[in-house]
A and B are shown apart, each in its own frame.
Chain A
């Protein structure tokens, strides 16, 4: 019960504070899930984010649903998704059926405008955390090089991020391991309690 309440609160806050569509909720989800409730660590969050970006569909509900499922099963999943989306859907229906002209949206948009740069700061902080981890993991020179290549692929050549992530995942899978017999170890791990 306590878990369900925590899931609800965490994703309610994410849904109601994430101005600027699904992507703006990423740093908020990170804050709740990694820092606040410690349901997963940075590595797992990174994996989830990568896969979430590779698969189609809205990112916020994929994050919420998966995390809810991991914390307390199917009910947790439903709880997390509903907490993320229901409050703002209600708000949307309420406002659209009570406001009569587009002029009346102006004050809503004025309020939202100030939140956009703050979301930017949160995303930039999260960016730095990921790059910092990468730098520690595989050395700064290599990280710098990889970052440069990825940046060119994404922003100059406009290759879809899903394709790059998918390619890297396949590369990681097919690359030969240094230690022999790992192939057997992996297939034999099915019954491993860890």
Chain B
């Protein structure tokens, strides 16, 4: 009977397509919007993904990685002196204007790494061209792949055709020469400025001077020590604030969740997807039940138990829901593949999104089936004898 129930649904092409389309559209809306939301949120802590260090030390009032409160240069030594710290290195991060060969200005995310150790620098696997060691040469920077798109304005081949910025090209940062010696693949920054890596001292020359310039101190625990314990010790003994990489990432993420309208905006769309899915599939399925009311009453008259009818209705609804969900996932993944090369809009499809939306779809389909079940439960088998 379950197979027959499914054939009843599949052979009613119009209703079936409407039901599946409704669920597919709802799934697409929820998955795509959640994916873009997660992608956008992942941009908020890009610096933490591009610069890897077990412990981040910052000013006591810092709330998130994109808004450092400058420290004194001597704070690096204070951190190094704390028991349990294996190493500590200075880091500068800030937004500065880069001037392109055509005179145009573009905002860049400047990163100054420790002059000697380049602590926190992206690993060799991230390099698309050039090398980290080339940063030891004067006036040199390493740019990310996004900078190749953003900083190429006005660059041309000898024959006048446009070209992309590459190794050896020069642009200005705050009237200082910046020669490109490396290109890396980096996570996009939330502010939209491409990452430009250089040494700490050079970053201080590029950036507009302020009384304090040190953004963060990157540190690591001694071998065998828990980063959280060492971070706690740094906080207690230095008066600064130290967090593990994971803690700081979560804090940054939740700062954006709490202080921006982004979650509400995306949440509203996801909610709309849920409502649209519920309304379309609920209404379509209810119409399907109404149109088959006499057949269902005939089933009841012929001796179909209520539990069998419930199983038939739930199977019809859930199977249509799962097919719609599958199509929705496929379309969302297609969207992800299409946008991945440009990285815009950001799309980060977590397994949790799929499980969550899958749960919502199950809720939608069972709710739709429930409408039908209520109708069927109230249906007397002798309805079939009445006009």
User: Is B a genuine binding partner of A?
Assistant: no
**Hey, which bits of chain A sit against chain B, CB under 8 A?**
none
**Hey, which bits of chain B sit against chain A, CB under 8 A?**
none
